[in-house]
Amino acid sequence: MEKIGIFGKKNSVVKYNLDTHESLWVADLPNGQTPKAIAQYEDFLLVIHQNWAGTKNISCFSESSGNLLWRYRYDFLCGWNIYFQPIFVGKNLIFKSGAVDFTKLCCETGTIIFKKNIKQKRFLSFEKFEIIYVGKTLIAFSEKEIRKIDIETGDSALDEELTEKFNVKGVTAYLGNGVSFVSSISSLNQQLEDEAAAASSTVTHG
């Protein structure tokens, strides 16, 4: 088996054959942008990249050709303090885009199929949901309830039996299917932001 690696450097992403010592393709990033996380699902290569000022993008390339399939500003897809944690269902991507919002996006074209609320927002409510894909069921859970989401329409409904029988309080980590590689993208992304926040808050005393 050939030793193939995907490497990110400032302004570019490179697919490199370590056996033959040659670049198979080079994909350009916006000027000044540096890849911070790279992950792959089938032929879809997701890259989170940003510049020195903190402007961040999410790009999707074809892993086989290096062609850019789509690119979005990170804060357009994900709200403040929301980390990009994609769930792949077929050729589509589903991810949490807000405290009670989620988005379904076509991996091949980048078309946003829909963005919907998991639950109607209430005034002064701080409830937030996480999303997990189990079997062929998309489930959203908060510390109060569990809801099932229709993958095709985005409509959700309270699952009374599951809410009653499964204690959702105190869940700190979770894993379903459709996310086998995603920890590399979410954990690295969070780590980098946490380190940046810590560095910016450090006070140097003379």
pTM (whole model) above 0.85: no
1-80 and 87-178: identical CATH topology: yes
pLDDT tens profile 10-64: 999 999 999 999 999 999 999 999 998 888 888 999 999 999 888 899 999 999 9
User: What region, left, alpha or beta, does residue 149 occupy, with left being phi > 0 and alpha being psi -120 to 50 degrees?
Assistant: beta
When pLDDT is cut at 50, 70 and 90, the band that residue 173 belongs to is: confident
Identify the architecture of domain 1-80 in CATH: Beta Barrel (2.40)
- The pLDDT score that the predictor gives to residue 62 is 97
Distance of alpha carbon 147 from the chain centroid: 21
Fold for domain 87-178?
Thrombin, subunit H (2.40.10)
- The pLDDT score that the predictor gives to residue 168 is 84
When pLDDT is cut at 50, 70 and 90, the band that residue 123 belongs to is: low
Three-state SS sequence of the chain: CCCEEEEEECCEEEEEECCCCEEEEEEECCCCCEEEEEEEECCEEEEEEECCCCCEEEEEEECCCCCEEEEEEHHHHCCCCCCCCCEEECCEEEEECCCCEEEEEECCCCCEEEEEECCCCCCCCCCCCEEEEECCEEEEECCCCEEEECCCCCCEEECHHHHHHCCCCCCCCCCCCCCCCCHHHHHHHHHHHHHHHHHHHCCCCC
- The pLDDT score that the predictor gives to residue 194 is 63
- The pLDDT score that the predictor gives to residue 188 is 60
Q: Does 2 score more than 60 pLDDT?
A: yes
pLDDT tens profile 50-78: 998 888 999 999 999 999 999 999 999 98
| Separation in Å, CA 41 to CA 50, 62, 163 | 21, 10, 32
- Could you tell me the residue ranges of all domains in the chain? 1-80, 87-178
**Percent of all residues in the chain with a pLDDT value above 90, rounded to a whole number:** 49
